[in-house]
Chain A
Amino acid sequence: MKQKILLYLTIAGWLIPADTRSAPASGLSEPIQIIRAVGSEGRGNDEATRVWKQLAGADASQLIEILSALDGANDFAANWLRSAVDAIAARETAAHRALSLADLGKFLLDTRHEPRARRLVFELIARADATAAEKLLPGMLNDPSLELRHDAVQKVIDQAAQLFEAGNKPGATLLYQQSLAFARDVDQVDLVAKKLKDLGQPVDLPKHFGFLTQWKVIGPFDNAGAKNFDTAFPPENKIDLAAEYDGKSGKVRWQDFTTKHNYGMVDMNQPCGKLKGVLSYAYTEFFSDKAQPVELRLGGKNSWKVWLNGKFLFGRDEYHRNAEIDQYRMPATLQGGRNTILVKVCQNEQTEDWTVEWEFQLRVTDSLGTPIFSNPDATRQTALNR
Chain B
Amino acid sequence: MNRIVIFLAAIACTVAPLQASDWRQFRGPLSNGVSDETALPISFDASKSIAWKVNLPGRGLSSPIIVGGRVFVTCSSGPKQQRLHVICLNAADGSQRWERQFWATGRTMCHEKTSVAAPTPASDGERVFAIFSSNDIVCLDLDGNLVWVRGLGRDYPNASNSLGMSSSLVTADGVVIAQVENDSESFSAGLDALTGVNRWKLDRPRMANWTSPVLLKTSDGKQLAILQSGKGISAVEPATGKTVWEYGDGASTVPSSTPDGARLFVPSHGITVLEPGASGEAPKQLWRSAQLRPGTPSATILGQKVFALNDGGVLTCGDATSGQRLWQLRLKGPFSSTPVGAGAYLYCVNEKGLAQVVDTFKPEGEIISELDLGDTILSTPSISGGAIYFRSDKQLWKVGKS
Contact = CB atoms under 8 A, between A and B. Distances in A.
A46 interface: yes
B396 interface: no
A104 to B, nearest CB: 17
B109 A324 contact: yes
B196 interface: yes
A83 B101 contact: yes
Nearest to A185: B79
Contacts, number: 121
B144 A150 contact: no
Contact of B162 (A43, A53, A116, A321): A321
Interface stretch (A193-201, A272-280, A310-318, A337-345): A310-318
Name the residue among A40, A52, A146, A323 with the largest chain B CB count within 10 angstroms. A40
Interface in B136-151: 136, 138, 143-151
B161 to A, nearest CB: 6
B149 A76 contact: yes
A209 interface: no
B162 A41 contact: no
Interface in B107-144: 107, 109-111, 136, 138, 143-144
Given A17-B144, A40-B154, A75-B154, A316 B184 contact: yes
A75 B151 contact: yes
Nearest to B192: A42
A318 B145 contact: no
B67 interface: no
A327 interface: yes
A32 interface: no
Interface string A298-332: 00010000000000001111110111100110000
Contacts of A19: 97-98, 143-144
A76 B206 CA distance: 27
Name the residue among A38, A53, A90, A318 with the largest chain B CB count within 10 angstroms. A318
A45 B103 contact: no
Interface string B205-218: 01010000000000
Contacts of A321: 161-163, 183, 208
Interface residues of A, number: 45
Interface string A1-32: 00000000000000001110000000000000
B252 interface: no
B195 A45 contact: yes
B157 A90 contact: no
Contacts of B103: 75, 78-79, 82, 116
Interface string B71-110: 0000000111000000000000000011111110101011
Going nearest first, the 9 A-B pairs with the smallest beta carbon separation are A322-B162, A17-B143, A42-B197, A321-B162, A45-B148, A318-B183, A42-B196, A75-B105, A79-B102
Interface of A: 17-19, 38, 40-43, 45-46, 48-49, 52-53, 56, 75-76, 78-80, 82-84, 86-87, 90, 116, 146-147, 150, 185, 187, 301, 314-319, 321-324, 327-328
6 contacts: A45-B148, A76-B149, A79-B138, A82-B101, A318-B162, A318-B183
Given A49-B195, A321-B162, 8 more contacts: A19-B98, A40-B154, A42-B196, A43-B197, A75-B105, A317-B206, A322-B162, A327-B109
